[in-house]
């Protein structure tokens, strides 16, 4: 996946794409994969890096949504469970079966949640992972020895999927390229091309070189997440907002807070939210919140009330109470929820996806969640085929193996997420022993991975590597800051950058990483950009 090759293709003015996708998060990347795998000529462009926003800041779960079952949204649960099963098969190097324990502290919770999870199992059908069952108190403690024991009566265990969100996003970008799509990051949509009151392409700016392009396309898909309204208003100044933004935050703790392999799921906290404590990359991710926001930014920050909520509830359900000094990282993400009913209560808004087609033909897809990205893509490509006036072709993404697919065992823990690409990264370390060295003593990565990211995964700066291609920023924000200079020097060797570039990259990244350090994050302001498309 080479950015230079994508820029060359975009520069060929005679190229008319069937479908142009604006937005490089889960939905946009899924759309590019679905369209390209059908044989259409596809361009995907992202203003920043792939999965730079919401799609790298999830709870890291591929799940049906237990709370949606409680809300009675059976159709959403059915769809999500089906997609969970497909993704488990299509990306086995990234998606794994995980046990989730619901600890019970009241006598009625065991039978109540036990019955509920059996319904959840039955809805999954043949795509189920493993059956749920009721646990005794001793079985709960065996699975999660650090759970709070006061008034514990037992529990229920069920199974869902866990994954690495930004690694899946990168593999989707690679899959799209494998299928013939042109995919590029740091390319901003600055306007729409219109002819006879119909959208016929986009005006784009290369955020690295400043070069501007007129890119023709038969259909344009707006997949810009929480920013879809901004692009809709470039098409129609009178377009009404359809998005209500909800913020969810997570804190990352050392593995000692949850040393087993099972996660904790609290189906209803005091204010009705769901709370997860999930093992992930030898750390523990605790979240999430559901906070309505009136404004939104590319780089959201956790509010004090959200920080307090997570820390208080982590202490309530873990036998060891976490202190601020224990937090390795804190991160916030934004959910694009489709407005309906009371927009002030984002927990009640639709998690289903919505597709809108404007009078000029701009196709907007929004809502949904990571688990259902493929179905969202299938639906929007069906619409795009009609708008573009191209052949309607059968969707093949249900059983399309995602780049990196392998069922072979990868012995190195840090290389498992690369799947079939692991062998080439391993070869880099063998051919150059310096690249086999650790990137940082507190991080599970080798220097060869950085070279691979810059050479083959379109990483353009230090944040691309430490935040999204590795998860260093989330696993240990301070350690990632300390690894910035080594990372920059390794990248400079691949990208032919000079010393001044290295110095600026290190300075910029260390400032950026401060926003993920628990004690510093409240005082570190994010960028002032209002849109990411």
In three state form, how does the secondary structure of 121-172 look?
A: HHHHHHHCCCCCEEEEHHHHHHHCCCECCCCCCEEEEEEEEECCHHHHHHHH
Q: Cα(143)–Cα(259) distance, rounded to whole angstroms?
A: 9
What is the reported pLDDT for 20? 98
In a domain, 75, yes or no: no
Residue with tokens 């291609």: 469
| pTM score of the predicted model | 0.95
Mean pLDDT over 100-104 rounds to 96
Q: Is residue 329 domain-shared with residue 189, that is, in the same domain?
A: no
Of the residues 367, 399, 431, the one at which a domain ends: 399
- Backbone torsion region of residue 44, taken as left when φ is above 0, otherwise alpha when ψ lies between -120 and 50, otherwise beta: beta
Q: Given this model, what pLDDT does residue 66 score?
A: 81
Containing structural domain, residue 272:
94-162+244-347
pLDDT of residue 532: 36
Determine the Cα–Cα distance for residues 35 and 396; give it in Å rounded to an integer.
9
d(CA 216, CA 8): 15
Q: Domain count of the chain? A: 3
Residue 374: its H or E element: helix 373-388
Q: What is the pLDDT of residues 184-201, one digit of tens each?
A: 999 999 999 999 999 999
pLDDT for res 270: 74
Q: Quick one: pLDDT at residue 349?
A: 43
Q: Give the pLDDT confidence of 334-388 residue by residue, as tens digits.
A: 999 888 644 444 444 445 789 999 999 999 999 989 999 999 999 999 999 999 9
Regarding whether 233 and 256 lie in a shared domain, the answer is no
pLDDT at residue 339, as a whole number:
82
Q: What is the average per-residue pLDDT within 51-64? A: 95
Question: Is the model's pLDDT at 69 over the cut of 50?
Answer: yes
Least confident range of 2-11, 26-35, 62-71, 316-325: 62-71
Residue 26 has pLDDT above 60, yes or no: yes
CA distances from 459 to 110, 134, 250, 499 (A): 48, 46, 25, 18
Phi, psi of 101, deg, nearest 5 = -105, 125
* Domain match, 362 and 334 both: no
Q: Highest-confidence range of 56-70, 94-108, 346-360, by mean pLDDT?
A: 94-108
Residue 471: which CATH number? 1.10.8
Boundary-marking domain end, from 347, 370, 385: 347
pLDDT number for residue 525: 47
Do 34 and 106 belong to one domain?
A: no
Domain boundary among 334, 369, 399: 399
Question: What would the mean pLDDT of 27-32 be, rounded to a whole number?
Answer: 98
pLDDT tens readout for residues 470-480: 999 999 999 99
pLDDT at residue number 340: 63
Q: Is residue 125 part of a domain?
A: yes
523 falls in which pLDDT band (50, 70, 90)? Answer: low
* 274 and 145 housed in the same domain: yes
What CATH number is associated with residue 294?
3.30.9.10
233 and 257: one domain? Answer: no
Give me the residues paired with residue 278 across strands: 285
Q: Are residues 292 and 385 in the same domain?
A: no
Tell whether 237 and 203 lie within a shared domain.
Answer: yes
* Torsion, Cα of 376, 378, 383, 386 (10° steps): 170
Say how many CA atoms lie within 13 Å of 333 toward its Cβ.
24
The position carrying tokens 């949204």 is: 73
% of the chain beyond a pLDDT of 90: 87
Average pLDDT over residues 40-44: 98
C-alpha distances in Å from residue 532, one per residue of 50, 328, 343, 344, 393 = 11, 27, 23, 24, 31
Whether residue 269 is contained in a domain is answered as yes
Residue 487 shares a structural domain with residue 508 = yes
* Local confidence band at 274 (pLDDT 50, 70, 90 cut-offs): confident
Which of 59-68, 327-336, 490-499 has the least mean pLDDT? Answer: 59-68
Between CA 79 and CA 369 the distance in angstroms is 11
Would you say residue 81 lies in a domain? no
408 assigned to some structural domain: no
165 has pLDDT over 60: yes
Residue 64 lies in a domain: no
Check which CATH number belongs to the domain holding 212 and give it. Answer: 3.50.50.60
263, pLDDT greater than 50 = yes
**11 found inside a domain:** yes
Tokens 């919140």 correspond to what residue?
Answer: 289
For residues 138 and 182, state if they share a domain. Answer: no
Residue 74 lies in a domain: no
Are residues 213 and 123 part of one domain? Answer: no
Q: Give the residue among 249, 256, 363 at the shortest CA–CA distance from 306.
A: 249
Are the C-beta atoms of 58 and 87 separated by less than 8 Å?
no
Instruction: Report the range of poorest mean pLDDT among 26-30, 172-176, 300-304.
Output: 300-304
Tens-place pLDDT, residues 408-445: 999 999 999 999 999 999 999 999 999 999 999 999 99
Let me know whether 217 and 174 are in one domain.
yes
């Amino acid at each position: 996946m080479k950015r230079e090759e994508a820029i060359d293709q975009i520069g060929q003015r005679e190229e008319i794409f069937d479908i142009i996708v604006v937005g490089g998060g889960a939905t946009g990347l899924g759309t590019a994969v679905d369209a390209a795998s059908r044989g259409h000529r596809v361009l995907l462009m992202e203003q920043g890096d792939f999965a730079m926003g919401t799609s790298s800041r999830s709870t890291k779960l591929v799940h049906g949504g237990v709370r949606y079952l409680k809300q009675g949204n059976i159709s959403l649960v059915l769809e999500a469970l089906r997609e969970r099963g497909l993704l488990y098969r299509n990306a086995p190097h990234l998606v794994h079966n995980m046990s989730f324990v619901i600890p019970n502290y009241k006598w009625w919770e065991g039978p109540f949640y036990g019955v509920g999870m059996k319904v959840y199992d039955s809805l999954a059908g043949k795509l189920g992972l493993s059956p749920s069952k009721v646990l005794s108190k001793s079985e709960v403690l065996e699975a999660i020895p650090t759970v709070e024991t006061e008034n514990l009566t037992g529990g229920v265990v069920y199974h869902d999927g866990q994954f690495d969100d930004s690694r899946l996003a990168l593999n989707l970008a690679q899959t799209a390229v494998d299928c013939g799509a042109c995919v590029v990051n740091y390319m901003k949509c600055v306007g729409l091309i219109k002819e006879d009151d119909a959208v016929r392409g986009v005006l784009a700016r290369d955020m690295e070189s400043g070069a501007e392009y007129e890119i023709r396309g038969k259909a344009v898909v707006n997949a810009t997440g929480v920013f879809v309204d901004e692009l809709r208003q470039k098409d129609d100044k009178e377009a009404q907002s359809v998005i209500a933004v909800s913020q969810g935050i997570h804190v990352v703790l050392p593995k000692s807070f949850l040393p087993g392999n099972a996660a904790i799921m609290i189906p209803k906290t005091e204010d009705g939210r769901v709370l997860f404590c999930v093992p992930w990359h030898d750390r523990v991710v605790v979240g999430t919140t559901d906070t309505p926001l009136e404004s939104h930014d590319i780089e959201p920050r956790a509010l004090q009330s959200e920080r307090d909520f997570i820390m208080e509830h982590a202490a309530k359900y873990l036998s060891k109470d976490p202190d601020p000094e224990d937090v390795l990282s804190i991160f916030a993400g934004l959910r694009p929820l489709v407005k309906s009913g009371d927009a002030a209560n984002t927990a009640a808004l639709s998690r289903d996806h919505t597709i809108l087609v404007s009078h000029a033909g701009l196709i907007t897809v929004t809502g949904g969640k990571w688990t259902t990205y493929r179905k969202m893509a299938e639906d929007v490509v069906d619409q795009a085929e009609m708008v573009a006036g191209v052949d309607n072709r059968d969707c093949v993404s249900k059983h399309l193996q995602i780049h990196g697919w392998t069922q072979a065992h990868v012995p190195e823990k840090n290389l498992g997420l690369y799947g079939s690409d692991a062998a080439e990264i391993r070869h880099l370390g063998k051919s150059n022993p310096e690249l086999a060295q650790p990137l940082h003593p507190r991080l599970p990565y080798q220097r060869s991975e950085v070279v691979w990211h810059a050479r083959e995964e379109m990483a353009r700066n230090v944040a691309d590597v430490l935040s999204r291609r590795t998860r260093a920023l989330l696993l240990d924000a301070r350690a990632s800051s300390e690894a910035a200079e080594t990372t920059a020097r390794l990248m400079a060797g691949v990208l032919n950058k000079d010393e001044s570039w290295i110095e600026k990259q290190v300075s910029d990244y260390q400032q950026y990483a401060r926003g993920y350090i628990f004690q510093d994050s409240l005082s570190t302001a994010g960028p002032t950009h209002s849109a990411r498309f």
